[in-house]
Every structure is written in structure tokens, then in C-alpha cells.
């Protein structure tokens, strides 16, 4: 098994629909030993059963914006594992009001919250885990096309994802001397708890399905398998990359033409489901 003997930390799993769940599942199926974090008591009730399903009793409280939680995490990982081989960062948040209306109306408070929780947290988490990361370890975060491109209703989260992707590149250089790799997966839209806060998300799903080369949306299992690859030794020559797992949508310059059942060709944006 590809991940046999590997130990890793999954940060930000919310439920069994999460992208982080798909990554954890793929890693566990390939033999990895896992630890998990939860944000608060309400989420602990969701995370512990998931950890148990994956054969783990290593579950730690972590509000990634609290330095004392990060310090405690380092101590817990060292006590329970000694060293770990990979970290999955699946953390993003912006106030709901910042994901509607115009980006120009974003408040400084909402901007700071979004950038701190969604981008800087990768830096702080990686730094906290660095003492227990083995040489040759892998760090993986999750991003979205709304970072490099405009996506309706994504607003300040798009700016946060752009900062996250840049952070991946700078961290990859900082940690490269130890053979530690830092990469990101840019997944296509998936119905997750995080996605529920984005306006017109159903339209985004339909648009991606209609206009991607593979004419489909991706699944958490598909993203999970790609994540497992980037966390495993199979990708030991890959770092600083943004790996798109989006049925090819990111390569498109404009919408596809589609032919309806009556034989009339219509533009994809006039053919929404």
C-alpha cells in the first residue's frame, strides 16, 4: 500500500461530504495512520465518529487562529507520534456578508478575517507542525479557481485563495532544503458545507458540468485520490504546485457549444439546467 507506515494530520474536516474527508479516506485506504482536529464542541461530535471510522483515537481541539491551540497541537503530535509525514490544511472562512454584493464593499474586518483564517493559517499551521514533520514530509492545502480568476459571489474569498496559492510557493522554497513539499489542490465545485455559503452555487455546479471538457463535476473521491498522490512518495518530485482537479474546467477560455435534442446548437450559457 502506497501510504503504509505514513502518519498524518487532517485539519478542517467537517463531515463525510468534506473534501478533507475524501483525502483522509484515500490515505487511510492506502495504509496511512491519521490524526484529526476539530474547531469546537459542536464539530467535535462530528469529527470523532469520522476518526473512529478511520481507526484513529487521535483527535485534537484546534482553533487555528489561537496560538495556544497551535502550541498544544505540536506537543500532542510529538507525544502521540514523535514525527508525522503529512499535513492536510482544509481551512477557510469569510463572514457571510462578504460573500454577497460587490467586492468593493468588503469591510476591513471581513478582509482581515478571511485572509487570516483562509491564508495565513497555512503559514501558522505549517510552522507549528515543522518540529514534528519528518524530512521529506508533504503539506497540502485546498484552493479554488476563484483565486486566480473571477468567480461570481466569491469576493473576498477569492483574494484569500490567491494569497493562499502564493503562500504555497513561498513555503515550498522555505522548506525545500529539508525535502518537505508544499502543494495545493484546486478542486472543482463540490456540494460541501463550505460551499453552502456561496450564492447561486447550484448555477456554478451546472455551469461547470456543462462547460468542463469531461462534462461533469468532480467527486470527493476523485479529489481525495489526487490528494493522496500529493501526500505520498509518488509525488516526491513535486512542490509549489497548484494541481487542478476540476474535470478540466480551468483550461477553458469560454463556454462550450451544446446541441439540444431538436438539433439546434445553443451557447452553453443559454442551456443551463
DSSP 6: -
Query: Quick one: which of 85, 167, 87 has its CA closest to 125?
Result: 87
CATH code, 7-270? 3.40.50.720
Is the alpha carbon torsion for 29, 36, 161, 232 positive or negative? negative
Candidates 154, 229, 244, 249; catalytic one: 154
Is the full-model pTM beyond 0.75? yes
Active site residue 38: no
Q: Which residue has the cell 439546434?
A: 264
Rounded Cα distance, 129 and 126, in Å: 5
pLDDT-derived band of residue 30, with 50, 70 and 90 as boundaries?
very high
pLDDT greater than 50 at residue 47: yes
Mean pLDDT of 159-166: 98
pLDDT at 190: 86
Q: Which sequence spans correspond to the domains of the chain?
A: 7-270
pLDDT greater than 50 at residue 26: yes
pLDDT-derived band of residue 97, with 50, 70 and 90 as boundaries?
very high
Within 8 A by CB and 6+ apart from 237, the residues are: none
pLDDT greater than 50 at residue 264: no
pLDDT greater than 60 at residue 271: no
Candidates 60, 144, 229, 249; catalytic one: 144
pLDDT averaged over every residue in the chain: 91
**Beta strands at 257-259 and 265-267: parallel, antiparallel or unpaired:** antiparallel
Active site residue 249: no
Amino acid at each position: 500500500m502506497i501510504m503504509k507506515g505514513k502518519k498524518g494530520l487532517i485539519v478542517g474536516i467537517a463531515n463525510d461530504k468534506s473534501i478533507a474527508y475524501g483525502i483522509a479516506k484515500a490515505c487511510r485506504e492506502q495504509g496511512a495512520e491519521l490524526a484529526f482536529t476539530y474547531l469546537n464542541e459542536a464539530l467535535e461530535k462530528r469529527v470523532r465518529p469520522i476518526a473512529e471510522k478511520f481507526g484513529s483515537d487521535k483527535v485534537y481541539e484546534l482553533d487555528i487562529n489561537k496560538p495556544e491551540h497551535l502550541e498544544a497541537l505540536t506537543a500532542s503530535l510529538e507525544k502521540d507520534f514523535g514525527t508525522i509525514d503529512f499535513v492536510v490544511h482544509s481551512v477557510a472562512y469569510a463572514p457571510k456578508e462578504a460573500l454577497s454584493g460587490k467586492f468593493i464593499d468588503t469591510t476591513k474586518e471581513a478582509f482581515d478575517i478571511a485572509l487570516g483564517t483562509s491564508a495565513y493559517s497555512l503559514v501558522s499551521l505549517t510552522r507549528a507542525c515543522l518540529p514534528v514533520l519528518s524530512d521529506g514530509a508533504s503539506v497540502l492545502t485546498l484552493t479554488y479557481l476563484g483565486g486566480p480568476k473571477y468567480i461570481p459571489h466569491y469576493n473576498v474569498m477569492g483574494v484569500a485563495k490567491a494569497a493562499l496559492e502564493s503562500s504555497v510557493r513561498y513555503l515550498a522554497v522555505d522548506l525545500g532544503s529539508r525535502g518537505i513539499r508544499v502543494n495545493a489542490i484546486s478542486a472543482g465545485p463540490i456540494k460541501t458545507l463550505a460551499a453552502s455559503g456561496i450564492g447561486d452555487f447550484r448555477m456554478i455546479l451546472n455551469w461547470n458540468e456543462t462547460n468542463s471538457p469531461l462534462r461533469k463535476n468532480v467527486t470527493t473521491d476523485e479529489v481525495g485520490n489526487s490528494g493522496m498522490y500529493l501526500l505520498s512518495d509518488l509525488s516526491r518530485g513535486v512542490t509549489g504546485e497548484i494541481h487542478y482537479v476540476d474535470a478540466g474546467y480551468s483550461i477553458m477560455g469560454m463556454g462550450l457549444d451544446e446541441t439540444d435534442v431538436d438539433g439546434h446548437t445553443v451557447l452553453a450559457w443559454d442551456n443551463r439546467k
